[in-house]
Amino acid sequence: MYPDLSYFFNDLFGTEVDNWTSIFKSFGLMLGLAFFACGLLLKSEFKRLEAEGKVQQIKLVDKSGIITFNDIILNSVITAFMASKLPYIFNNFDLFKADPASVIFSKLGNWPIGLLIGAVYGGYLYYRKSKETNIGPVERLVSPHEKTVDIVFLAAISGVAGGRLFSVLENFSDFIKDPIGQLFSGSGLTVYGGIILAFIFVYMYMKKLGIKPVYMMDIGGMGILLGYAVGRMGCQIAGDGDWGIAASAMPNGWFLPEWIWSYNYPNNVNNDGVLMSIVDPEIFNSTVGSIEQKCKVASGMRYCHELSPRVYPTPIYEIIASFVGLAILWMIRKKVKIAGTLFCLYMIYNGIERFFIEGIRVNERYNYFGFNWSQAQYISLGFVLVGLVGLIYLYFIQKKQDDQIAP
């Protein structure tokens, strides 16, 4: 596995692991790629809907070049934050490259310098504002596809926040022990939490822009499947714990590669499982420090564990299922006449797929109404029900409209 780029380059070129390229974590890179891919799909579909006349240009107030007090405060805070972190990262690069999130989302930093630079920059912005002319904001027409970056950025921020929040709720006992550490941890994102919160925020943003959210929902269903597939690639590559239960014996007649049936996730980013064969157990057990430090001393790498027994590589199954679902929705998207249908079909498909995948995944189970399911299974069942109700609702709305048009 490749927990970060240094392990990938080591496999490809034989370079040293845990070097400066280790700041680029595999899952984070794939998550960024997922949002980039979603942005391309969103922009393409918005252009198609614009050409078909289904979405119109929107009137926005252009305030570019006008500095507000909110701009001054926000930019001063961001500048102070960055100015405090950069010197600390420079002086503690080994700590940063090991776990960037733990440094960024913490109180660590050179705050006196950061606050001073932030205050100076805020004063500069205030000076610029005092020199502004009294030219007011200008209204202009904007095509929906021009707002792609804003939509994707909003979905990314709210999605990560939702994923973190649901993960905290799912592991509440750990949160009670370390609230700040758990809340700002760079690991442990619950997909459904991200989807739900991102949906709420993007829906509200669409309403604010004056774009019918139902069209965004249809595009969003395809976008989520695409982003989910790419994101799960990150889970598989990094070995972040989203794997399945211990795999049963490979069935007779299995003709695909063994790693599709079962996998041991060597060098997984969680350091779960047993020590790899290259590690000297005596040196590992006698070393003082964290698991990563023990691994480094005993093997020369921060990640030196693999799973035993081998498990079902569930991220691979979800990658395949997501691309299949995307292909289905993509092929029928121009044939569907009722807006909202694609999103309802997405919810039903995703709910069914996730419900069954959860049956072989390692996750905490909850007993409600006589069922011993994971959090994701309860939510996925809700997805299916909401999708079915949505299809019925859309059908009757369309039927009512057809009856009114008929002579």
Per residue of the chain (407 residues), give pLDDT as tens.
899 999 999 999 999 999 999 999 999 899 999 999 999 999 999 999 999 998 888 887 766 667 778 888 989 999 999 999 999 998 888 888 887 877 887 788 999 999 999 999 999 998 888 876 656 667 778 899 999 999 999 999 898 888 877 776 766 555 555 555 555 554 555 777 888 889 999 999 999 888 889 999 999 999 999 999 999 999 999 998 889 999 999 999 999 999 999 999 999 999 999 999 999 999 999 999 999 999 999 999 999 999 999 999 999 999 999 999 999 999 999 999 899 999 999 999 999 999 999 999 988 888 888 888 988 899 999 999 999 999 999 988 776 665 555 44
First vs last C-alpha separation in the chain = 65
- Give burial (CB, 10 Å; 0-12/13-18/19+) of 124: middle
Residue-level pLDDT at 276: 96
Torsion of CA 260, 164, 388, 371, to 10 degrees: 80
- Residues 159 and 200: beta-carbon distance below 8 Å: no
Residue 293, C-beta contacts closer than 8 angstroms, at least 6 positions apart: 287
Q: Which amino acid, 176? A: I
Q: 224: helix, coil or strand?
A: helix
CA dist 390 and 343 (Å) reads 9
List, as one string, the DSSP characters of 45-107: HHHHHHHTTSS--EEEEE-TT---HHHHHHHHHHHHHHHHHHHHHHHTHHHHHH-HHHHHTSS
CA dist 31 and 38 (Å) reads 11
pTM comes to 0.86
CA dist 142 and 286 (Å) reads 64
Residue-level pLDDT at 133: 64
Q: Report how far apart, in Å, the C-alpha atoms of 218 and of each of 72, 80, 186 are.
A: 38, 40, 30
Q: Where are the alpha helices (DSSP H) in 239-313?
A: 258-261, 281-286, 291-299
Residue-level pLDDT at 406: 47
